[in-house]
Amino acid sequence: MTSDGRVSQVQRTSEGASHRPYVEARRLTKVYRTPAGEFTALKGIDLQVQRGEFVAVIGKSGSGKSTLINLLTGIDRPTAGEVIIGGEPLHTYDEEQLAAWRGRNMGIVFQFFQLLPTLTLVENVMLPMDINRLYPPAERRERAMLLLEMVELAEQAGKRPSQVSGGQQQRVAIARALANDPGLLIADEPTGNLDSATAESIFGLFARLAAEGTTILMVTHDETLAARTHRAVMIADGEVVNEHVSRALWVLNYDQLAEVQRHVTPITYAPGSVIIRQGEMGEHFYILTGGRADVFVEHPDGHEMPVDHLRAGQYFGEMALIGRQARRATVRAADDGPVEVAALDRAAFNALVEASPGLRHELQRVISLRQLQSEVDALQDVDRATLQRLTADAPTRLIAPGETIIRRGELGETFYFILEGAVEVFAGRNGQEALIDRLGPGAHFGELALLGNRRRVATVRAAGDGPARLIELDETAFAQLRQLSARFAGQVEQTAAERQARI
Ligand code: ADP
Ligand code: MG
């Protein structure tokens, strides 16, 4: 144990000179031969884990998580592919070499603890030291006691596994896994058999070890635990789901992500090349998985206006598929490097949107934001993150043709941008209602009550020829937007003055 209380001899952070990943699986394949025939449980997995990373492996039952873990630990042999850990090509090692390497470098924790029932807890922890002989016999018990102290079980050291609880047995199993001070800890559902409070304490132990520099690969069913690691690798049907895809489509569940994985096609675009072009009909939805892309709106005079920049983990192309309209912007690979995307065709995308209310809602929110940014000229100087924050709680309203949105004389506390469709504005003239204006996408209304005496001075309805989609801001968001953007504030004041004059 070091002076600061760590049960570790090595200063792992000083080893980071090499950029090679610590754990590397290359095209890792496992075919099980069963009486019923061959079953491919892993389909050529590539995985890299850097030294010091705490990585969760997630995915539904039967997806191949344990198979992957068993190949990485050398408990089972790959049918094809390579396992390289700390630069050592473990797939080429024989059983004896493997056992020796594993004992020194890797701690393994299973779902069902697997302590030896006839040994006491401290003897269980000493076992790997006895086998690998990295510590002199005289030091082993003391070191085992320090490890038990770390997992808060020193007082139970003389008991047998059956005399302590499941959570305590798992803590002993972790202490045992750390006996030879391994750089890598691999755990297959270590909390899978524990109640949630106990699972939390076990996870806390892993988190502490990770903070001290141990590289950890942990299979878990628990998505909230997975979200607390550095990174989650999702396995579906024996394949790794691209991490940017799962991040971009975080609202989907395991089954839906597995479905995406089955349908996506990876495509690479050269620097500067066009991925989708404004005006063309869209057939694909894209998730950016590498590089950067720029989004432009092309104006009739030929000039291109940049409206957005995209990076890995963001998606595009959804608007044309949802609205069944031509692409509203051009997306081009940035000049500084190639762009990689995962493309999903229209049918697969539609099926996904159909199956997931969460995704529908999320897409709608993103679309509203993009429309706001591309339609409302006055918001062009507000950066995307700010706009996203200000509109996070702003509802999008779909108004039926002819339906009233605000009514003259009523108190008004809201402000509207038009995203799609049109609205008509009616003022009172000689006791009669008169149409005084028609507003389309990008226009706003509702500001007069907020800037004036609170009463609506006109009635606004969705135009009779189609529905209108609006985004509704409350007073606070409206005020913040005016404060943030001089351009927006100026435009609101100008239109307010013009409208006041007309009414
Ligand atoms: P997970 O840990 O994600 O639940 P596994 O890696 O245990 O999944 O299993 C992946 C798939 O391989 C499953 O369909 C499982 O039935 C199959 N499988 C696992 N082990 C064997 C085996 N020894 N023989 C045949 N099939 C197996
Ligand atoms: Mg498993």
Domain membership of residue 345 as a residue range: 254-375
How does pLDDT run across 208-218, given as a tens digit for each residue?
999 999 999 99
The verdict on 212 and 261 lying in the same domain is: no
299 vs 278, 335, 381, CA distance in Å?
10, 21, 18
230 plus 263 within the same structural domain: no
Q: How many domains does the chain have?
A: 3
Domain end among 216, 241, 266? 241
In terms of domains, do 307 and 229 share one? no
Alpha carbon nearest to ligand 1 atom 10, residue = 64
User: Who's near 113: CB < 8 A, 6+ residues apart?
Assistant: 161, 166, 169, 170, 172, 173
pTM of the model: 0.75
Per-residue pLDDT of the chain (503 residues; tens, 9 = 90+): 444 444 554 444 444 445 789 999 999 999 999 999 999 999 999 999 999 999 999 998 999 999 999 999 999 999 999 999 999 999 999 999 999 999 999 999 998 888 999 999 999 999 999 998 889 999 999 999 999 998 899 999 999 999 999 999 999 999 999 999 999 999 999 998 888 888 898 899 899 999 999 999 999 988 889 989 999 999 999 999 998 998 889 888 888 888 898 899 999 999 999 999 999 998 999 999 999 999 998 888 888 888 889 999 999 999 888 877 899 899 999 999 999 999 999 999 999 999 898 888 888 888 888 888 777 878 877 887 788 888 878 888 999 999 999 999 999 999 999 988 999 999 988 788 899 999 998 899 999 999 988 899 999 999 999 899 999 999 999 999 999 899 999 999 999 999 988 88
* 340: its two tokens: 């990689």
DSSP track, 62-89: TSSHHHHHHHHHTSS--SEEEEEETTEE
> Which uninterrupted H or E stretch holds 488?
helix 486-502
Q: For residue 496, what is the domain's CATH number?
A: 2.60.120.10
Last residue of a domain, one of 218, 241, 264: 241
Does 17 map to a domain? no
Distance CA 70, CA 501 (A): 76
Residue 231 lies inside a defined structural domain of this protein: yes
The residue behind tokens 């899978």 is: 192
Could you tell me if 365 and 433 lie in one domain? Answer: no
Return the ligand number nearest the Cα of 67. Answer: 1
Residue 455 lies in a domain: yes
Has residue 383 been placed in a domain?
A: no
* Residues in the chain, total: 503
- Write the burial class of residue 273 (CB in 10 Å: 0-12 exposed, 13-18 middle, 19+ buried): exposed
The pLDDT tens digits of the residues spanning 142-169 come to 999 999 998 899 999 999 999 999 999 9
φ and ψ at 439, to 5 degrees? -120, 145
Ligand 1, atom nearest to 39 Cα: 26
Residue 29 Cα to ligand 1 middle (Å): 13
Same domain (yes/no): 227, 258: no
Indicate whether residue 485 lines ligand 1 (CB < 6 A).
no
* Domain assignment present for 330: yes
**Which of 38, 66, 67, 189 to mutate to test ligand 1, by most ligand atoms within 8 A of the CB atom?**
67
Whole-angstrom distance, CA of residue 88 vs CA of residue 85: 5
